[in-house]
Amino acid sequence: MKIKNSEFITSAVRREQYPTDERIEVAFVGRSNVGKSSIINSITNRRGLAKVSQTPGKTRLINFFLINNDFYLVDLPGYGYAKVSKTEKASWGKIIETYLSSRLQLKRVVLLVDCRHKPTEDDIMMHEWIKHYGYDVLVIATKSDKLSKNELRKSEKVIRDTLKLAQEDKLYYFSSLNKIGRDELVDSIFDDIILKEDNEQSKES
């Protein structure tokens, strides 16, 4: 799939602030320092589409980006940043859970983890949340340029074991710096759900 255009539409905290046009959605979620904004900018080929904050944990909103005037890429708040209060952490968790528990348009959640580290308790909980609500989940290990091929193999085993991924569960590696495999990753994230949605619309009409 070619991403020809992408634009920021709105930010939201509450359910009534979400877009109401019924387009399907693919959400991205991960720890606050995992490189979520960078990967969104990489796959859309728009350097400043998602704002890259110099302060981890700063994004407190759900951001909706319209892709190809066809579907939404949804940027969920980063979680797990240590230097915020428990109250703030709880509030971000509530924002994410409200979205996951009520969004019929949501067709897939992309969970980002840092390939250099074992997934954290927050990552495990987020993966379990996504599965609990019945969404298709795709895991991307970011910052893959930082590891050697041997280290990447070890990383894959650690991530799969920690998140209890089955062999058929999708796990991809990506670096926002070298962007190797970008087009294939875009296809893996979006192609099948867009095609499925188009087929369902064709049946209805």
Q: Which residues pair with 94 in a beta bridge?
A: none
Q: Which SS3 state, helix, strand or coil, does residue 105 take?
A: coil
pLDDT of residue 57: 47
Residue 1 is assigned to a structural domain of this protein: no
SS3 string, 138-193, reads EEEEECHHHCCHHHHHHHHHHHHHHHCCCCCCCEEECCCCCCCCHHHHHHHHHHHH
pLDDT of residue 137: 94
Residue 171 is assigned to a structural domain of this protein: yes
Residue 205 is assigned to a structural domain of this protein: no
Residue 100 is assigned to a structural domain of this protein: yes
Range of the domain at 17: 6-200
Q: Mean pLDDT, to the nearest integer, of 36-47? A: 92
Query: What's the domain count of the chain?
Result: 1
- CATH code at 19? 3.40.50.300
Residue 91 is assigned to a structural domain of this protein: yes
pLDDT digits (tens, 9 = 90+) for 145-158: 999 999 999 999 99
- All residues at 6 or more sequence positions from 135 whose CB lies less than 8 Å from its CB, including other chains: 100, 106, 107, 108, 109
Distance CA 203, CA 37 (A): 36
Phi, psi of 137 (to 5 degrees): -125, 140
User: Which residue in this structure is represented by tokens 């909103």?
Assistant: 61
Q: Which SS3 state, helix, strand or coil, does residue 21 take?
A: coil
Residue 179 is assigned to a structural domain of this protein: yes
pLDDT digits (tens, 9 = 90+) for 59-97: 578 999 999 999 999 999 888 765 555 665 556 678 888
Residue 134 is assigned to a structural domain of this protein: yes
Sign of the CA dihedral with 112 first, then 118, 122, and 123 last = positive
Residue 120 is assigned to a structural domain of this protein: yes
H/E stretch holding 62 reads strand 62-67
Computed over every residue of the chain, the mean pLDDT equals 88
H/E stretch holding 96 reads helix 86-102
